Structure 1
Amino acid sequence: MCSSEMLLSLVTLLAVLAPVYQAALVISPLNDASPRSRREAEGHQQDISKDGIDMYSVRIVSTITSRFANTVTTSRLKNKNPDAREVKFELQLPPHAFISNFTMVIDDDLYIGVVKQKKVAKVQYEKAKSQGQSAGLIRTANTSPDNFVIAVNVASQSKVTMEVTYQELLQRQLGRYSHVISLRPHQLVHHFQVDVYIFEQQGLTFVEVEDFHSSHAVNLTRGEQKAHITFKPTLEDQRMCLNCLETKLDNDFTIHYDVNRDLDAGQIQIVNGYFVHFFAPVNLHPLPKNIVFIIDISSSMWGQKIIQTREAMVTILGQLKPEDHFTLVQFSHRISTWNDEMTIANEDNIEKAQEFSRQLTPSGMTNINDAVLRGSAILRKAREEEKLPAQSASILLLLTDGDPTYGEKNKENIRRNVKNDLGEDVVLFCLGFGMHLDYGFLEKMALENQGLARKIFEGADAPLQLKGFYDEVATPLLSKIHLEYPDNIAVNVTRSEFETYFDGSELVVAGRIVNNSLESFSSSVTAKAELGDLTLIADVGINDTEDLLEKQQYIFGAFTERLWAYLTIKQLLTQRMIEPNPEVKQILTDRALNISLKYGFVTPLTSMVITKQQRVKKQAPDVTARKVPPTEGKRKVTGVDSDPHFIIELPGQQQHLCFNIDEEPGRIINLLTDIDNGISVNGQIIGAKKVDDKTGKLQTYIGRLGIVLSDLGIFIDISTESIVVRDSNGRTKFPWNDVYVKKDNFSIQVSDLDKLFIFLPIDTSFEVVLHRVWRKNEIHRSFLGFYTMGESSFSPRTHGLIGQFFKEPAINIFNIRPGQEFDKPIATMQVKGHTLQVTRGHQMDYRTHKHGRRSGDAVTCWFVHHNANGLIDGDHSNYLMPDMYSFLDTRGMV
């Protein structure tokens, strides 16, 4: 298709930060069906096409680990028309989510979204269009930022599979987390299924699905720490009426849950050198609050707005507690108050304030500056006269539907005046009523004063929206909260100081741990509570997190680094929004941009450009014959072993290439990803016990392997201690012993106590070598070697640090000359358009080693320095993975 036949455009997409983490769990529709049964399913179903477009399946899979949600939406359709037709996809995102992945397959053409800086993405998109190539652009929009629409022209009889991944950190509000999935397919779907998996280490107190039509198609199962919710509506469940083609799925699928908690310093989780700290104590006495309601009664509030405001204020005032102090300020171009002083919330005063609220009448223009300053002055006077409790929380709540039109109208000046007047002891919340206002102005003013802004949408439920927001801030429990971590151990820590903690919410802090030898990690929390100063201490053993990691991988894997990136970008964008200094603003922008690009998030600073890549059809595996790989004789050497050294054989050129990847212990690197065959192999780096005195280096090795066979639903976790196989039937743990296990088209075999063979259904296998080291060795640890066999059986799209070399690159080696060591000459090598200096040396192939004795065959190779920069596609950091079971995303590398 040319560019005139296809247009991918993001009409609207959420501009607020959020994931994510690249799609670790990619589940295509009808993934469990064989090619034959899939064709039958598509060819012999009731015709429910709409305008000749048949939607075969929609599959939504959300995995939630420790409040961090990864959602993958996969849609599959076919254009049955004799001509091309435009199809629109709509994905409504939650208000804190970031898109992190987008792919689309049209017949055998693969389109992959690559996150770029906005200007770079725009240039690349326009260039592709000018050359007649199919391309697209995904970017954030300024209007309706939570609605994502793609329009694509589909050729006659063509099939389209579209996959979008987004991530978000669930916000705790009113004592629960809410995960919202938009269900708006706009037509009937043959196979519609939603799966939500939840894992919370603290334990689940409740899980519930918000009631909606077709709720009978919902199934919920839960245990102490895990829950699985499915929604699988039939065609009859989806129909608007009997035998009609209109769907009634046009709503949100919402899941609420909460976790166990206590009055303590919260929960700290550590994975791969990154920590996340969740703080949400309970059983605290509420702080008295001092609240000033500042209400816009300008003429634009006439009609339904003022009626709904009166209704909401009467309800809210009735919920004040006897220990609270309050007053009301109403403003148009004039400013007036219900009482010029903070007033105790007794029954008589509340009734008088409610009657005052019932009489609110709109007229005049809008003087926001003087109204907020009047409320601030009332609070300050009460403080100075010591009429308010010493341990209390002071709040201004501004409700307005318009821009400043009277008095000080310059919004920058208003923000500056308010910030200077409020100081650090008053929190400002801004509620923007309706659509015709500068919400950005209100948001900045709130953020500058430790609060937040919220839109109140016009409609019948506006009073409920107003009351709902008030409920979130109605019960302050702590003020002046400071979460502190050890100096020189925790770095790049996200925001850790907060003015107020409200009941039902949660504070989240993340950071990086730089001391690899640390056995425990501690945090202290200090705050002001109703009964006085509060200090809490949290301490967690780092080694204890290994079991936690294993449990998390049941659903999500090592999530903490992605969550740290998510929080950091979000906070940098917030700081950037309110920073007045242009130089500082640019620094914040650059940092947020770099992290967005590194972790593949679509943010206000980045866009996702859609480019075409060739996709080769997957062949059905032939598993009728399998041969055990020979244990003797010369074999092709492709693998990774020792420190960790990669050995790549290029048989067509009779050469070997070697390289190292120097990364910190705990990092996970992708060795091989074959997306067509559903195979992924990741290795986790471990470090020696201490720096080698002779070399001055900390040696690193592969200490753990994670292998995914997604077509079989099998996950293999290999460590130096055991081999764990997971599938739909559960989890089986094997020791390194003489054992043989066969399951479907997959089998494993351990021989000689230290060699593991993994036979795959594509007539190939892996070999893992266990190098045992004496436990009392002062420097070294036991580690693993990994080798591949039968590379020709993998698909041409196979990639990874090892997998990319299954397609042999052309190299040219010349100008061989003496090096610094007489037996290690150096040379110039040209490869993949790069000119590199390489060194001749040798590495060990340990597949022939004998049990109990570390020995092997020496392989002579040309060594590529600097993390194989120029030899491997992209940068080595592109191969860093968020968890042991992720598939490599090659976007931006090739």
Structure 2
Amino acid sequence: MYPKRIPKHLIFDPQPKRKSKAWIWWLIGIAITAVISVFSVDALATPYNDNHAGELKLTSESGLKLPSLHLETTVKTDINGLVVTTEYIQRFKNDSDKWVEGVYVFPLPDMAAVRHMEMRVGERRIIGEIKERHKAETLYKKARAEGKRAAITTQQRDNLFTQKVANIAPHQEIEVRLSFIDTATYQAGVFEWRLPTTLTPRYIPGISQPPEDESESTTNALTTNAFGWASATDQVPDAPFITPAMTPPPEYGLKNPLRLTVSLQSGMELASIEGLYHDVDVNKINDRYNITFQHDVVEMDRDVVLQWTPVVSAQPRAAVFQQQLEGDTYAMVMMVPPNASVVHALPKDIIFVIDTSGSMQGNSIIQAKSSLLLAIKQLSPDDRFNVIAFNDHFSVFNDRTVPASDELKHIATQWVSALDADGGTEMYPALQEAYNQLADPERLQQVVFITDGAIGNEEILFELITAPGHNARLFTVGIGSAPNAFFMAKAAQLGRGSYELIGYRDDVRGKMSSLFNKLNHVAATNITIDWPEDVEPYPSQSADLFHSEALLAFAKLSAPLQHLPISGNTAQQAWQTTITANDAASTSGIGSLWARYKVAEIEDQARRGNIPQQDVRDAVLDVALTHSLLTRFTAFIAVDETPVRPQYLPLFGEGVTNVMPHGSAQQRMQFANTATSATLSMWLGIWGCVALFILHINRIRVK
């Protein structure tokens, strides 16, 4: 019998149908759309915009940009010996026809004691009050909603602060003045004072967290917590507060101008005064030196660093400053230990950790590689070394420390020279690897960490440094024109080492030579200060001092200090000296500095596990509220009680942009791989499902 139907494979079709390849084009289209969307999301994270630094760019309902200018920052500084008193003036002017609120994130010296704030509107002067932070923020939100002029100053990090100014009337100027006390450093016969003016954008690792719900009593009030380009993560919950918008430096003119006047009374004959990164004019009047910028105003795109050097015969060995305040005496003591030459440098195991993340692009990676190459060159044959480079991941020159032979040093030099800067800043795994490789207690163990410190999760790194078993000394080298000096100094302190800051390539040789002098020997150990009875000193235990470093200590006493015995050990012998304080000049601000160092000690004790974290807040508040000190638990709040903004008018606001550090390359903001946004994840999932569906349909058609 013949089949009722001819088999399909026997049928001859003179015009066979071609298999459709439309599904391939669908997949290509979806892939292109996905790539474009990913780059669009990434572009939203970039800190660059066309806003002028120092300007508030306000957007109306119609999308029209409304400029509101932050005029300038003026710094007036008085230096008396080691004590630096600064008045920091920020002027906000609203050039629009709208009511605005300004939010400005800015850096200050990491050990600055901010002790006063006031707001000025025309002839009106409103003195700020120090309060617990959450209470101050509640008062600020209430005043903002009620249309009252208000200003609040808060601290995000030891060296990073936020200034908010609410209800600036159209075409009105409001001035906020901060006063803080700081100290100059003294090392290798040179005094130095550093003022940061901008910041390097910080890498924010971790998993994104939902924003906090900040309910307001009126719809006309503006929530200003989220002016940062990064969202909160599990590792950096305050990311929106430490990631202000950034803008490239201008081709012409100034975007964020800074004016500086310094009055210096050193108390000794000086051989030189210079600005490291700015040209300055110096005029001497009697025993004071007046210092200004040569060009009157400069861009806020790098640290301001002043150095003054006494003549050799006037270089101090010790100095005492005291202040009488409410029946107590506050003392500050500076002393240089006896010189101790290096008889023989001990063999050491040393690991260099170099940051090759995106924030190091430009001059920073050049300075970092130059520093590392010079360090490798200076290793002795008895040393062992390794190099770890990190960005999103870390790579090692070798899987263990190797002898510092000429051949291996040459190979390491080639390896370092090939490094490029790109990607995120995942410090933790790289530093953990360095500690893991240093496990020989019979040899001197050291880690040299070369980075700009542009991270938001500093505390996690501090926990790693102070972890049990991490006994290697940590030395940090801060790179760039605006490094995170707080991280550099604190990491070195917790790691029982020291630090250097390199702002320009010309600094590399001198700074690395100084670093190797420190690596090769500790100048003074077991330092003991024989304070009188009934005294509260900070730091409570003096750290070891390295080559050319000076001892700095503060104390609260019941009576003025007369003399102070200090003893310790050098590599060759024990030493002892007595400082006479009878002729110590009375200096204001010592009490505030003592309080600032006490707060730092409380925080450090908690990092080392000696104080429960839940007790830190109360301990810090007790000091800060007594001494009117700005901390992460306190804030300055100033409110003009007269309402000025009509309730029916809305309030507009935007963050004031910072200028990118001088010499840094433009880059997209780098997030951790785990910090993918929920929206992006959702769309990637949808695209994946669509692609799988098309493949499934095509497979059915083929079958």
The question of a shared fold, defined as TM-score above 0.5 by the shorter chain, is answered with yes
2-structure distance, mates of 1:78, 1:508: 41
Q: Secondary structure at the match of 1:126?
A: helix
Given that 1:84 and 1:155 are in contact with CA atoms closer than 8 Å, whether structure 2 keeps it comes out as yes
Of 597-606 and 309-318, deviating more is 309-318
Matched, 1:200 2:266: yes
Q: Within 5 A, what are the aligned runs for 1:263-662?
A: 266-272=318-324, 273-281=329-337, 283-286=339-342, 288=345, 290=348, 292-295=350-353, 310-320=369-379, 325-330=383-388, 337=398, 340=401, 343=404, 351=410, 353-355=412-414, 357-358=416-417, 367-368=429-430, 371-378=433-440, 380-381=441-442, 383=443, 394-398=445-449, 419-423=467-471, 426-429=472-475, 447-451=493-497, 470-476=512-518, 478-479=522-523, 481-486=525-530, 488-489=532-533, 491-495=535-539, 497-515=541-559, 520-529=562-571, 532-542=572-582, 544-545=583-584, 548-549=585-586, 557-576=587-606, 578-580=607-609, 584-612=612-640
Q: Secondary structure at the match of 1:603?
A: coil
Given that 2:336 and 2:549 are in contact with CA atoms closer than 8 Å, whether structure 1 keeps it comes out as yes
1-structure distance, mates of 2:316, 2:173: 54
Match of 1:846 in 2: none
Give the Å deviation of 1:598: 1.8
1-structure distance, mates of 2:464, 2:68: 58
Given that 1:329 and 1:335 are in contact with CA atoms closer than 8 Å, whether structure 2 keeps it comes out as yes
Give the Å deviation of 1:278: 0.7
Quickly say closer, same or farther: Cα 1:352–1:266, change in 2 above 3 A. Answer: farther
Give the Å deviation of 1:604: 1.5
Given that 1:296 and 1:401 are in contact with CA atoms closer than 8 Å, whether structure 2 keeps it comes out as no
Given that 1:419 and 1:449 are in contact with CA atoms closer than 8 Å, whether structure 2 keeps it comes out as no
Given that 2:282 and 2:289 are in contact with CA atoms closer than 8 Å, whether structure 1 keeps it comes out as no
Q: Which amino acid aligns with 1:371?
A: E
Give the Å deviation of 1:559: 3.4
Give the Å deviation of 1:493: 0.8
Give the Å deviation of 1:63: 0.8
Q: Secondary structure at the match of 1:313?
A: helix
2-structure distance, mates of 1:302, 1:206: 33
Quickly say closer, same or farther: Cα 1:160–1:262, change in 2 above 3 A. Answer: closer
Q: 1:102 aligns with which of 117, 125, 146?
A: 117
Quickly say closer, same or farther: Cα 1:59–1:285, change in 2 above 3 A. Answer: same
> How far does the alpha carbon of each residue in 1:566-591 deviate from its partner, in whole angstroms, 9 at most, with x for none?
22222322333x1336x533444433
Match of 1:133 in 2: 148
2-structure distance, mates of 1:91, 1:300: 22
Q: Secondary structure at the match of 1:489?
A: coil
> How far does the alpha carbon of each residue in 1:18-56 deviate from its partner, in whole angstroms, 9 at most, with x for none?
xxxxxxxxxxxxxxxxxxxxxxxxxxxxxxxx979796x
1-structure distance, mates of 2:111, 2:189: 18
Identity of aligned pairs, percent? 16
Q: Which amino acid aligns with 2:318?
A: G
Given that 1:102 and 1:112 are in contact with CA atoms closer than 8 Å, whether structure 2 keeps it comes out as yes
Quickly say closer, same or farther: Cα 1:397–1:219, change in 2 above 3 A. Answer: closer
Quickly say closer, same or farther: Cα 1:465–1:599, change in 2 above 3 A. Answer: farther
Matched, 1:229 2:291: yes
Quickly say closer, same or farther: Cα 1:306–1:563, change in 2 above 3 A. Answer: closer
Q: Which amino acid aligns with 1:257?
A: W
Normalising by structure 1, we get a TM-score of 0.47
2-structure distance, mates of 1:442, 1:182: 14
1-structure distance, mates of 2:285, 2:134: 47
Given that 2:381 and 2:403 are in contact with CA atoms closer than 8 Å, whether structure 1 keeps it comes out as no
Given that 1:334 and 1:367 are in contact with CA atoms closer than 8 Å, whether structure 2 keeps it comes out as no
Quickly say closer, same or farther: Cα 1:612–1:481, change in 2 above 3 A. Answer: farther
Q: Secondary structure at the match of 2:537?
A: coil
Give the Å deviation of 1:165: 1.7
Q: Secondary structure at the match of 1:475?
A: helix
Give the Å deviation of 1:75: 5.7
2-structure distance, mates of 1:506, 1:181: 20
2-structure distance, mates of 1:508, 1:341: 38
Given that 1:481 and 1:497 are in contact with CA atoms closer than 8 Å, whether structure 2 keeps it comes out as no
Quickly say closer, same or farther: Cα 1:528–1:148, change in 2 above 3 A. Answer: same
> How far does the alpha carbon of each residue in 1:725-784 deviate from its partner, in whole angstroms, 9 at most, with x for none?
xxxxxxxxxxxxxxxxxxxxxxxxxxxxxxxxxxxxxxxxxxxxxxxxxxxxxxxxxxxx
Give the Å deviation of 1:150: 4.3
Give the Å deviation of 1:257: 1.6
2-structure distance, mates of 1:402, 1:180: 17
Match of 2:190 in 1: 176
1-structure distance, mates of 2:359, 2:299: 35
Give the Å deviation of 1:360: 6.7
2-structure distance, mates of 1:310, 1:377: 26
Q: Which amino acid aligns with 2:496?
A: Q
2-structure distance, mates of 1:367, 1:211: 34
Given that 1:192 and 1:232 are in contact with CA atoms closer than 8 Å, whether structure 2 keeps it comes out as no
Given that 2:462 and 2:494 are in contact with CA atoms closer than 8 Å, whether structure 1 keeps it comes out as no
Q: Within 5 A, what are the aligned runs for 1:136-155?
A: 136-141=151-156, 146=160, 148-155=162-169
Q: Report the structure, 1 or 2, having the larger strand content.
A: 1
2-structure distance, mates of 1:278, 1:323: 37
Match of 1:41 in 2: none
Q: Which amino acid aligns with 1:579?
A: R
Give the Å deviation of 1:263: 9.8
Q: Within 5 A, what are the aligned runs for 1:808-827?
A: none
Given that 2:116 and 2:179 are in contact with CA atoms closer than 8 Å, whether structure 1 keeps it comes out as yes
Q: Which amino acid aligns with 2:336?
A: A
Q: Within 5 A, what are the aligned runs for 1:657-806?
A: none
2-structure distance, mates of 1:208, 1:302: 27
Q: Which amino acid aligns with 1:176?
A: V
Give the Å deviation of 1:537: 0.8
2-structure distance, mates of 1:454, 1:333: 23
Given that 1:372 and 1:418 are in contact with CA atoms closer than 8 Å, whether structure 2 keeps it comes out as no
Give the Å deviation of 1:138: 1.8
2-structure distance, mates of 1:138, 1:377: 46
Give the Å deviation of 1:419: 4.0
Unaligned runs of 5+ in 2: 1-65, 199-248, 643-703
Of 144-153 and 504-513, deviating more is 144-153
Q: Report the structure, 1 or 2, having the larger helix content.
A: 2
| Higher RCO, Cα 8 Å, sep 6+ | 2
Give the Å deviation of 1:494: 0.9
Give the Å deviation of 1:62: 0.5
Q: Secondary structure at the match of 2:612?
A: helix
Give the Å deviation of 1:302: 12
Give the Å deviation of 1:256: 1.3
> How far does the alpha carbon of each residue in 1:602-653 deviate from its partner, in whole angstroms, 9 at most, with x for none?
1212112222268xxxxxxxxxxxxxxxxxxxxxxxxxxxxxxxxxxxxxxx
Matched, 1:62 2:119: no
Q: Which amino acid aligns with 2:274?
A: E
Quickly say closer, same or farther: Cα 1:92–1:538, change in 2 above 3 A. Answer: same
Matched pairs, number: 506
2-structure distance, mates of 1:508, 1:374: 33
Give the Å deviation of 1:596: 1.6
Q: 1:121 aligns with which of 129, 136, 161?
A: 136
Match of 1:793 in 2: none
